[in-house]
């Protein structure tokens, strides 16, 4: 597919801004409403920000790494950008929808491309009850927190918490504890992408917990519901031979 009209977005770092200036001088900068593709210049955090900010336009996004990690980005090559875009491989990502009820009875909603995580707010361990599709599966988990990750997010916080890496087309979610104290040997679960996950916070007043969906944080939650939203299809572009699927596979063989 030919992408002739490019809308550029860049983070505020000097490296990203310099690259933005160079690329727009060479290829122009199309208005978002008329663009065929978005090129996001920065790191993975900026890619997530761009995905959230451009949900309504439904354009594919090609990332150029001028950040720290760059797992969702491509390497910087200023020559032949249109040709690279035309040959790029597409990964489709479905985000998680979070609905969080706080201790005051207020409802908060958010979308997460990587994961929804619950985190203790104080020195006290969190106490969580976990239900899947309306059935309680774990009556009480004492922990620093827990998270539900998409395949795209399985190599991020989920991997750092010793969760499993999921192929991008696995149609699975990873449910992973964060520093589980009891039951100490529980390592989490693999769930169908259709699963409806509920966390109930036990002793929410004494043991406050936050819920985080990417950049949205809700403090002092009492109950959090999470499920995949398949109506939203986010399209990421990767250089030929360096697809997201290939990156996820390669990550499992890193020494």
Catalytic residues: 44
Distance in angstroms (rounded) separating the CA atoms of residues 88 and 75: 13
Exposure of 141 in the CB half-sphere (CA atoms within 13 A): 29
Distance in angstroms (rounded) separating the CA atoms of residues 254 and 155: 12
The one-character DSSP state at 91 is E
Position of tokens 């169908």? Answer: 192
Written as six digits, the tokens of 246 are: 């290939």
Nearest to 132 by CA among 194, 59, 223, 184: 194
The one-character DSSP state at 183 is S
Written as six digits, the tokens of 133 are: 């599709």
């Amino acid at each position: 597919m030919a992408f002739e009209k490019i809308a550029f977005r860049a983070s505020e770092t000097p490296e990203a801004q310099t690259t933005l200036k160079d690329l727009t001088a060479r290829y122009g900068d199309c208005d978002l409403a008329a663009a065929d593709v978005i090129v996001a210049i920065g790191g993975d955090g900026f890619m997530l920000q761009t995905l959230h900010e451009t949900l309504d336009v439904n354009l594919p996004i090609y990332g150029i790494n001028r950040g720290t990690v760059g797992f969702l980005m491509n390497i910087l090559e200023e020559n032949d950008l249109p040709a690279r875009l035309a040959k790029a491989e597409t990964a489709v990502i479905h985000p998680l929808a979070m609905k969080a009820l706080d201790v005051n009875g207020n409802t908060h909603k958010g979308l997460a491309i990587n994961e929804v995580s619950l985190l203790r707010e104080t020195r006290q361990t969190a106490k969580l009850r976990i239900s899947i599709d309306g059935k309680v599966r774990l009556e009480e988990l004492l922990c620093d927190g827990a998270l539900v990750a998409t395949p795209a997010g399985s190599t991020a916080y989920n991997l750092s918490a010793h969760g499993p890496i999921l192929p991008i087309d696995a149609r699975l979610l990873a449910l992973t504890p964060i520093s589980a104290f009891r039951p100490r040997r529980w390592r989490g679960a693999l769930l169908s992408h259709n699963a409806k996950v509920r966390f109930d916070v036990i002793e929410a007043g004494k043991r406050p917990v936050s819920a985080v969906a990417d950049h949205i944080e809700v403090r002092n939650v009492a109950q959090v519901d999470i499920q995949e939203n398949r109506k939203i299809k986010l399209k990421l572009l990767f250089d030929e031979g360096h697809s997201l699927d290939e990156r996820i596979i390669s990550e499992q063989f890193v020494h």
